[in-house]
Amino acid sequence: MTRPVHLSVKNVSLSFGGTKALHNVSFDVYQGEILAIIGPNGAGKTSMLNCMTGFYRPDEGSITFDGHEITTTPPSKIAGLGIARTFQNIALYTGLSTLDNIMAARHIHFKYGMWQSMLYWVGGALKEEIRHRQRVEEIISFLEIEHIRKATVGALPHGLRKRVELGRALALESRVLLLDEPMTGMNLEEKEDMARFVLDIHERQNMTILLIEHDMGLVMDIADRIVVLDFGVKIAEGTPDEIKNNPEVIRAYLGQEHEILN
Amino acid sequence: MAVLRPSGDFDVSYRQDMALIRYPWHWVLILATILVAATAPLWGNAYVVTTINQIAYTVIAVQGLNILTGYTGQISLGQAAFMLVGGYASALLATYWGAPIWLSLPLAALITGLVGLIFGLPSLRVKGFYLAMATLAAQFIIPWLTRHTFKDYLGGSDGQISVPMPTLGPIVFDSAEKFLYLSLVALLITTVIAFNISRTRLGRAFVAIRDNDLAAELLGVNLLGYKLRAFFIAALFAGIAGALRAHSERSIGTELGYNLNESILFLGMLIIGGLGTNLGPFLGGVTVIILDDVALQFGQFVAALFPAYSSNVLTSFRPIFFGLVLMLFLIFEPRGLAYRWTLIKAAWRLRPFSR
Amino acid sequence: MKKAISMLVLMSLLLGMVSASFAQQNDVTCESEVVVQVNDWLSKIADKFYGDPLAFPAIAAATNAKAAADDSFATIENVNIIEPGWKLCVPGAADAQTLLDSSAAGVLTQSADISCDSSNVGKKIVLYQQAGITGPLAAITGPGLINGTQDAIKAINDAGGICGATVEVVFNDTAYVAEQELAVYEVSRNSDPRPFVILTYGSGATVVLKDRVNEDKIVNIASGLNGPAVYNPPNGYTILTAPIYSDQFSGFIKWAKDNWASIKPEGAGDEIVVGVIGWDNAFGTGATTDEALAYAESIGVTVLPLEVVALSPTADPTGPIQNLVAQGANVIYNQSLAFTPATVIATTRALGLWDQVVMGGVNWSMDNSMLGSLGENAALAEGYYGVFPYLYWDDTDQPAVRAAQAAFDAGGYPPADHGVGYLLSYASVDAIRQAAIHAINRDGFDNLSGETFLSAMEDLGIVSAGGLFEFNVKDGNRAPSRTQIRQVQLNDAGVPTFVAVTDWFDLPDTRP
């Protein structure tokens, strides 16, 4: 691999009480690749993402982003650095419309403050709102969710909500996208749509994407590389082909062999 | 639910799409409301005028609470205490520096906002019931301080000080009729501010915190910073409401209320009107205040029907009736009147296909 | 034998006292004897003989004294009612003065039956009464107030109104919320006819309305007795129905100090330590003003910091009581009403602390409403002392009380309303009648306003409220300053009654 390292995880360990969630995990995410993290339930995949986004502070080890240490950076600063994320259990603002959800993600790109908010017409708030609205409309159009622009997201079906959440992550205009099971609970058609969006984003913006997903077939299709976690330990790392044939992985997925090779 | 609009009705610019007043009938409704309220001295008696005045400053206080509780999801039981701060601040500014109302009112609001910041600090660490307890502290500490410290300025055991009549240039607001306009203008301004907050970055950040604080944080919203902003604005509004009430009642202090009951009642108004909607404070405030008056009148009517129990009816009817109606509201209209209003609007647009 | 002699001496002494008192009464010499004519009033007669209509109580006292020995003289039960044909005794001017002085010192001023110079039939006078008819204090300020006012007005109208004008009343409920007091006042002051007098019942009302009534020149007959609100600024339009709270409190501790030897709890020392339990509002904090505390210090009585109880029937005073006793309180003074003194009494008894303290309180704390809150345990209140600046239902020997009782009975009201509220409004209306007549006589009916009404009251100085209590508007006063101390005692039937344990005495002056 000659591509520059974007995100680097070195010897990260994390435990809750006596339970080890992550144990000495290291891997790199290269610029412009799609890296998938897979593993059985409870393998520590989401914990890994939470460490990267500042929700958890690893007991040991470090995480760097473009060479900057982000191990102890609070979550609210992560976005500013250029890392966006979606959540396993959709974390949309259910009371807001699709439009406002995505606009809310532009938060860090706004310049105006509290007083301008109150005054709206004077002080530049209106002008800035319109400027960002243009950007957001591009995202809405890209994700083909124009028809639900003004709908309250709490009332949307699951598949659309996942899409809105992706839109929200895109609105941050980050350089890395962390997607935590973006396709769970979807039917085949929705999954294919979502996969197409992910690949589109990857290709058009040369976005680095880190993906957690259970659907092995899908992962094998779209991921450049795969990291496999089991009980908090990294047991394998490599291209989809390498992973498919890795005996450790097969052992970890014992009884689920069929799913991997699907 | 999706927003239903008549076919053929398109916005042709983002600005138009973001506008608040979108149809001619919006203008009609708004102007009619303003007209009815502003001409109250002509068509109503003193009771009507004072009631509208009371509604005006109450709605302002509830608007503030709506920003904190409705939008940001931070429950607060201290709104009445913050009103007390605003009232005293404006009163003292006017009494000792002769500040005119255009100066004393905003200054009082700012001072109250800063006090609100202090009591917002626990919100970083605690949520829900625990935060309610923390804001309850404001409701105990502030009234206690007004009664027991700086007795010469705050009234001491009298529990009140008198507040000068507000002046604005040559105008002296010396009657309820005149004061009504002051309150209505203030309400108009706070309403515009509330709408502006809800449709901009600030409002979206508030709702983000309410709906999902983890996601909000990850999208770059500084939780403490924005929770404190919400507390500041809520107290700011309470300060305006308190100053208006103090000047219109021409006295301020714990003797006039500003107690926990009122803070809870503000929450009740907000729930009845609709949490997290800009219409909610209006619907809730108007409903509760009018309901209270109806309960009073109705109680006297019922007492007259049962002379043998008149004393019991007179003393207990009002709270029972009031409590019962509140309870029924929560059972049958849990999402507040503002939600009912959107349903009515939708039904109107869908007619004749609506149920 | 010795025993018999001492008995004899005792009996003769007793007889001597009785005959002496009779002799004293018979000592009254009538300068003239007057037979009542149609359209005669006592005050008219007093005016004719002494040039002072207010000297009428002397005639009433002299006549009643004569009547005790001589049937030909009438017995005047109610100074407002004299019948044609009655024979009255009019004492000489000097005797009259003596009688007036003794009545001023010992008993309340009697209501004056002032005659009118003009007739205003067809016109009307409207009184505005606002109170917490509902709300926490409804037991005192509820239906009783309304009934009392209505009955008093009915009596006045039946007797031809005030100088011919019909009296009406407008009631407004404020639920004992100061904000409502203001809102209601705002309505009243804009009503037609514009009020010249309003009646209010709450410290909140007194406090928040004081500037308004001064500005609007509307007299507020107020039963919220906050000194600072009334005397700051002085000579205002708020006039109180009873002594200000700080005066009452000071008077109570003065009385306790003077009588400590006889009232002190068993085992208590000579030092008096007073604990005050009050509500957390202008009323509850109204007794322990800086002036009252300074007075307490001046007579060597320790007053502990105010213990606050919430204004709610369910508030638990256990903590405050224990705090006070732990700090050495041997006197507990209740600056609260109705349910709160009741729970303080019951709780103190339950804690077994009743015998360690002298328990008392502000005027209305000792009322039917307090006994009512105790319910079937009303007897627990036995021994409670109250500052008592008015007559009460128990004073059946007083004509004024008998008249009020007759009106109450005629109304057929429930026993729960048989409290101070009825007496208060019943009597206040009578005082308004007298002052209004005086104002009408002096300035004309059409000039009856808050201003003329107040100056009429000032003219009269001390205005009797139906003989049940008195207003004192003399020399810048806005509240009376005399009281009795009464105690709850059980009568033979085991029913609590309010028995006077002192004569009327002047309270210390703790005006701000």
CB contacts of C177 in chain B (<8 Å) are 257
Model pLDDT, residue C23: 35
Work out whether strand A19-30 and strand A34-38 pair parallel, antiparallel, or are unpaired: unpaired
CB B273 within 8 A of CB B58: no
Q: Beta-carbon neighbour count of residue C396 at 10 Å?
A: 10
Closest residue in C to B54 (Cα–Cα): C183
A130 touches chain B (CB under 8 A): yes
Rounded mean pLDDT, C323-333: 93
CB contact under 8 A, A150 and B3: yes
User: Please, which residues have CB within 8 angstroms of residue B160's CB and are 6 or more apart in sequence?
Assistant: B251, B252, B253, B254, B255, B256, C178, C207, C208, C282
Best mutation site among A92, A118, A141 for testing chain B: the one with the most B CBs within 10 Å?
A118
Give the end-to-end CA distance of chain C in Å, rounded to a whole number. 63
Q: Where are the alpha helices (DSSP H) in chain A?
A: 45-52, 75-81, 98-105, 114-119, 125-142, 158-171, 188-205, 216-222, 240-244, 247-252, 257-261
Work out whether strand A60-65 and strand A5-16 pair parallel, antiparallel, or are unpaired: antiparallel
Best mutation site among C145, C176, C187 for testing chain B: the one with the most B CBs within 10 Å?
C187
Model pLDDT, residue B307: 66
- At residue A108, does pLDDT exceed 80? yes
User: Does the domain at residues C124-243+399-480 carry the CATH identifier 3.40.50.2300?
Assistant: yes
CB B332 within 8 A of CB B343: no
Model pLDDT, residue C16: 38
The more confident residue out of B66 and C135 is: B66
Model pLDDT, residue B63: 96
Q: Where are the domains of chain A?
A: 5-82+174-261
Whether chain B lies against chain C with 3 or more Cβ pairs closer than 8 A is yes
Closest residue in C to B143 (Cα–Cα): C280
Give CA–CA dist C175/B261, Å, rounded: 14
CATH of region A5-82+174-261: 3.40.50.300
Q: Which of A202-206, C66-70, C326-330, C427-431 has the lowest mean pLDDT?
A: C66-70
Q: A30 — phi, psi (to 5°)?
A: -90, 155
Proportion of chain C above pLDDT 90, given as a percent? 43
- At residue A118, does pLDDT exceed 70? yes
Q: What is the pLDDT of residues B138-182, one digit of tens each?
A: 999 999 898 888 888 888 777 788 888 888 888 888 888 888 999
Domains C124-243+399-480 and C246-388+485-506 share a fold: yes
Give CA–CA dist C337/C367, Å, rounded: 8
CATH of region C246-388+485-506: 3.40.50.2300
Q: Where are the domains of chain C?
A: 15-106, 124-243+399-480, 246-388+485-506
Q: What is the pLDDT of residues C111-130, one digit of tens each?
A: 777 788 888 888 999 999 99
Calculate how close chain B gets to C408, using CA atoms only, in Å: 15
A94 touches chain B (CB under 8 A): yes
Amino acid at C198: I
Model pLDDT, residue C179: 79
Q: What is the pLDDT of residues B23-32, one digit of tens each?
A: 777 888 888 8
- At residue C100, does pLDDT exceed 80? no
CB contacts of B202 in chain A (<8 Å) are 114, 117-118
Amino acid at A147: H
DSSP reduced 3-state for A177: strand
Model pLDDT, residue C353: 93
CB contact under 8 A, B311 and C416: yes
**C307-316 b/e (C-beta count within 10 Å ≥ 16 → b):** bbbbbeeebe
CB contacts of B214 in chain A (<8 Å) are 55, 75, 87, 91
Model pLDDT, residue B352: 67
Mind giving me the DSSP string for C296-347?
HHHTT-EEPPPEEE-SSTT---HHHHHHHHHTT-SEEEEE--THHHHHHHHH
Rounded mean pLDDT, B105-130: 90
CB contacts of C285 in chain B (<8 Å) are 147, 156-159
Q: Identify the band that residue B308 occupies on the pLDDT scale cut at 50, 70 and 90.
A: low
Calculate how close chain B gets to C192, using CA atoms only, in Å: 11
Q: What is the mean pLDDT of chain B?
A: 86
Model pLDDT, residue C324: 94
Model pLDDT, residue C454: 94
CB contacts of B233 in chain A (<8 Å) are 114
Rounded mean pLDDT, C396-409: 88
Model pLDDT, residue B132: 85
Proportion of chain C above pLDDT 70, given as a percent? 91
CA proximity to C359, closest of C333, C328, C320: C333
B210 touches chain C (CB under 8 A): no
Whether chain C lies against chain A with 3 or more Cβ pairs closer than 8 A is no
Q: Beta-carbon neighbour count of residue C95 at 10 Å?
A: 19
The more confident residue out of C138 and C431 is: C431
Give CA–CA dist C459/C444, Å, rounded: 15
The more confident residue out of C72 and B286 is: B286
Model pLDDT, residue A259: 52
Q: Where are the domains of chain B?
A: 24-259
- At residue B309, does pLDDT exceed 70? no
Q: Identify the band that residue C398 occupies on the pLDDT scale cut at 50, 70 and 90.
A: confident
Q: What is the pLDDT of residues B236-260, one digit of tens each?
A: 999 999 999 999 888 898 888 888 8
Q: Beta-carbon neighbour count of residue A185 at 10 Å?
A: 13
Work out whether strand C462-465 and strand C469-472 pair parallel, antiparallel, or are unpaired: antiparallel
Rounded mean pLDDT, A20-47: 88
Q: Which of A58-72, B181-195, C74-88, C230-244 has the lowest mean pLDDT?
A: C74-88
Q: Which of B103-107, B144-148, C150-154, C271-275 has the lowest mean pLDDT?
A: B144-148
Model pLDDT, residue B55: 93
The more confident residue out of B22 and A47 is: A47
CB contacts of C414 in chain B (<8 Å) are 308, 311
Q: Identify the band that residue C103 occupies on the pLDDT scale cut at 50, 70 and 90.
A: low
Q: Identify the band that residue C26 occupies on the pLDDT scale cut at 50, 70 and 90.
A: very low
CA distances from C7 to C3, C20, C21, C463 (A): 6, 19, 21, 47
Q: Which of B34-38, B182-186, C106-110, C416-420 has the lowest mean pLDDT?
A: C106-110
Best mutation site among C130, C177, C181, C182 for testing chain B: the one with the most B CBs within 10 Å?
C182
CB contacts of B215 in chain A (<8 Å) are 87, 91-93
Model pLDDT, residue A208: 92
CB contact under 8 A, B201 and A112: yes
Q: Which among C186, C187, C229 has the least Cβ separation from residue B158?
A: C229
Give CA–CA dist A53/A75, Å, rounded: 6
Calculate how close chain C gets to B46, using CA atoms only, in Å: 5
Q: How many CB pairs lie under 8 A apart between chains B and C?
A: 103
Calculate how close chain B gets to A2, using CA atoms only, in Å: 31
CB contact under 8 A, B45 and C175: no
CB contact under 8 A, A85 and B218: yes
- At residue A262, does pLDDT exceed 50? no
- At residue C7, does pLDDT exceed 80? no
Best mutation site among A50, A51, A93, A166 for testing chain B: the one with the most B CBs within 10 Å?
A93
State CA A227 to chain mean position distance.
Answer: 15
User: Please, which residues have CB within 8 angstroms of residue C295's CB and are 6 or more apart in sequence?
Assistant: C250, C253, C254, C508, C510
Q: What is the mean pLDDT of chain A?
A: 86
List all chains that touch chain B, counting a touch as 3 or more CB pairs closer than 8 Å: A, C
Model pLDDT, residue C507: 93
Model pLDDT, residue C104: 47
Model pLDDT, residue A187: 87
Closest residue in C to B48 (Cα–Cα): C187
Give CA–CA dist C89/B343, Å, rounded: 84
Dmax (CA) of chain C: 82
CB C464 within 8 A of CB C112: yes
Rounded mean pLDDT, B305-327: 73
Work out whether strand B251-252 and strand B161-162 pair parallel, antiparallel, or are unpaired: antiparallel
Q: What is the pLDDT of residues B51-63, one digit of tens each?
A: 899 999 999 999 9
Q: Which among B204, B220, B221 has the least Cβ separation from residue A100?
A: B204
CB contacts of A133 in chain B (<8 Å) are 14, 18
Model pLDDT, residue A256: 55
Tokens at B207, concatenated: 């709702």
- At residue C252, does pLDDT exceed 70? yes
CB contact under 8 A, A130 and B15: yes
